[in-house]
A = this chain, B = another copy of it.
């Protein structure tokens, strides 16, 4: 062997899901998928690799850090292969929404409305931080081609159904609409710097009204400081009056918001108010309990492409976690491919990594090292076949059953394996039992064992498991 030893290291900003985490992820994904399908959403799958122009829209202001790829053959030196830039254009996607817009534009025969869900890896080149990865998994569901506010409400209804399906007892879906925010930005004369204005407003949870006030007041530090909003005291007072509506009940929020908007007679804000009113009415009619949702005028969501309602889901038991499930309306996302098409879109995305942390921290999914329900041991080589047949019978009855395949064939090692893996039941088929048509069934947690008729095995195991 002339090869040097390689360190089994992973790439910075990526992470491995070992079984305990992967089992949670799998259960989580399956439940979200079931909810999506119950609402009539269909799956699609698109590649991780997309063209650079598709991802960036050739926008000169695009400022995300992306993973571009190049094909390198064999063991060639990794740094000097510009000549092999065979697919210089291909780049790892940073979300699932832009690829969706590509799909909508590339396949005009897709139905409208098009309701799809998709899960997959997305990649961002930003510096990794605690809980922020360069490669992570998203689960998105979106409705394309519906301008109806019922579509926005359906997304909130799905968010609610998902949180319930995951067994989360305390959560609040907070929503707002960019139209009210756009209106406020117009009222306080920030329309040209709306992005910065929204960014500040959105930090209400983190920095409070005082922090927001300070940020909005901030004067430019030099001539190039385009982000300073430098709001006047009168303007600040208006923003504060809007934000003071946070935490009121729905009826009161809508009433007071209506009064504020009347005063300013801003038409954009007025349209937004109507949206919030209709959404609230539909949510009430759908009997989604008020404790699980709230209008929150500070919710802006960072992504540039939102155009109407925006939503997020926070867990009062984990206030610092941020939103685990968020989204909004993004009309016009296909415009980069089909100028003027203005196709409507609204959807949400589950932050799977964050949700896994939440479910584990709140102990909502019991931690599991295994999905195996029964381990069948192999007593000796002669009984290997009989044990394998027994295991297969249990499987066919829907019981997850493992046969012991370790190289240490001592019965003690087999039992230790079951104990370490927290497999609840062990079946031992020894020569004596085999002869008498019996099997030993060990209940690992109860530290009990009994002799069961070979022919009754399936029935007995099924009853002890249920």
Q: Which of B68, B107, B116 contacts A70 (CB 8 A)?
A: B68
Asked if A130 CB lies within 8 Å of chain B CBs, one says no
Asked if A339 CB lies within 8 Å of chain B CBs, one says yes
CA distance A159 to B281 in the complex (A): 53
Contacts of A161 in B (CB 8 A): 395
Contacts of A49 in B (CB 8 A): 11, 14, 67, 123, 134-135
What is the size category of the interface that chain A forms with chain B?
35 or more
Q: Are A8 and B40 in contact (CB-based, < 8 A)?
A: no
Q: Which of B113, B150, B281, B401 contacts A40 (CB 8 A)?
A: B401
Give how many copies assemble into the complex.
Answer: 2
Q: Are A85 and B79 in contact (CB-based, < 8 A)?
A: yes
Q: Which of B50, B398, B406 contacts A145 (CB 8 A)?
A: B406
Q: Are A421 and B53 in contact (CB-based, < 8 A)?
A: no
Question: What is the CB-to-nearest-CB distance from A34 to chain B, in angstroms, rounded to a whole number?
Answer: 9
Further pairs besides A19-B116, A282-B384: 6, Cβ < 8 Å: A6-B337, A8-B106, A9-B51, A18-B107, A40-B370, A45-B137
A-B contact pairs, 26 of them (CB 8 A): A1-B339, A3-B57, A5-B337, A17-B43, A18-B44, A19-B43, A25-B45, A39-B400, A40-B371, A40-B401, A40-B403, A42-B369, A48-B135, A49-B123, A66-B73, A68-B71, A69-B69, A71-B125, A87-B125, A111-B421, A145-B407, A148-B405, A150-B403, A154-B403, A154-B405, A286-B389
Which residues of A are in contact with B by a Cβ distance under 8 Å? 1, 3-19, 21-23, 25-26, 33, 37-40, 42-54, 56-75, 78-79, 81-82, 85-90, 92, 101-103, 105-107, 110-113, 115-116, 120-121, 123, 125, 134-135, 137, 143, 145-148, 150-151, 153-154, 157, 161, 281-282, 285-287, 336-339, 344, 369-372, 375, 378, 384-385, 388-389, 392, 395, 398-403, 405-407, 417, 420-421, 423
